[in-house]
Amino acid sequence: MSKQNPMVESPKPPTGEDSIQPNAPDFVETPEVSPLSSEREPFPAWIYLACGFILFLAGSSFMGFDDFGQGLLDQGPGGFTGSVGPKATVEVASSPMDIGKSLYGGNCANCHQGSGEGEPGSYPPLVASEWVMGSKERLAAIMLHGISGPISVKGDTFGTQVMPGWSGNFTDEKMAAIMTYIRGTWGNTMGAVKPEEVAAARAKFASQGDAPFTEDQLMKIAPNGPDPSDKK
């Protein structure tokens, strides 16, 4: 059995007023917090500028730094004077001689050779040939429908191999370019052939169909020699 010390007194419990006094040992002051504002803060301007600059660089990478933005501002004397847009592609038009040379090299040189000299006994020469230097209409008939049987060129006779016609392979413009080339190179000095001249021959000899001409038939096309317009 325990005995209490009569000299020890239990502390008095704090009253309600004591517990909320600033001087109380356990008092902690709570800082005041401003209420949240319902208004939105403005978006930083530097972010707009940064995004605009990035878009500018992206557009330049697609359009090219040389052209991007040209024509948007007055650049003063000596500034850009061209039209805004993709760079113009400059195409140099080829002459009929250049076109004819290319077509001849890819389609005719295998037989008549790049020099136009042909092969003795097999493929007739085109250099100084009366068939090339003669009537343009007759040459067009040869080009369009071909030749079958022996043919005499500059006094020599060449074989019986059939030369195919090219009417289904070339347009009038390309056919005229080939004829212009073989009539004006290797020392040949005859005039150019116009596409409309080939078109006229194409219509005139349409009844020939796929059948090649013979030498006798060709001689009847231009019995009086070259056309008056053949000279350069």
For residue 122, what is the domain's CATH number?
1.10.760.10
**204-231 average pLDDT score:** 82
- Alpha carbon 82 to chain centroid, angstroms: 21
More confident residue, 36 or 102: 102
Would you say residue 128 lies in a domain?
A: yes
Would you say residue 80 lies in a domain?
A: no
Domain that holds residue 118: 96-223
Would you say residue 14 lies in a domain?
A: no
| Proportion of the chain above pLDDT 70, given as a percent | 60
Single-letter residue type at 60: S
The angle subtended at Cα 185 by Cα 180 and Cα 186, nearest 5°, is 150
Would you say residue 88 lies in a domain?
A: no
The C-alpha atoms of residue 172 and residue 94 are separated, in whole angstroms, by 16
**Global confidence as pTM:** 0.59
Residue spans of alpha helices (H) in the chain: 16-19, 45-63, 96-107, 109-112, 130-133, 136-145, 172-183, 195-204, 215-221
Would you say residue 1 lies in a domain?
A: no
Under 8 Å between Cβ of 117 and 125? yes
Confidence bin at 4 (pLDDT 50/70/90): low
- Residue 43 has a pLDDT of 62
User: The dihedral of CA 191, 155, 223, 126: what is its sign?
Assistant: negative
Confidence bin at 41 (pLDDT 50/70/90): low
- Alpha carbon 118 to chain centroid, angstroms: 37
Confidence bin at 231 (pLDDT 50/70/90): low
Within 8 A by CB and 6+ apart from 152, the residues are 158, 215
Would you say residue 182 lies in a domain?
A: yes
Count the domains in the chain. 1
Would you say residue 117 lies in a domain?
A: yes
- Residue 227 has a pLDDT of 62
More confident residue, 43 or 197: 197
pLDDT, tens only, 185-210: 999 999 999 999 999 999 999 999 99
pLDDT, tens only, 45-89: 777 677 777 777 666 555 554 544 444 444 444 444 444 444 444
- Alpha carbon 193 to chain centroid, angstroms: 30
**35-45 average pLDDT score:** 64
- Residue 116 has a pLDDT of 96
Would you say residue 118 lies in a domain?
A: yes
pLDDT, tens only, 125-179: 999 999 999 999 999 999 999 999 899 999 999 986 789 999 999 999 999 999 9
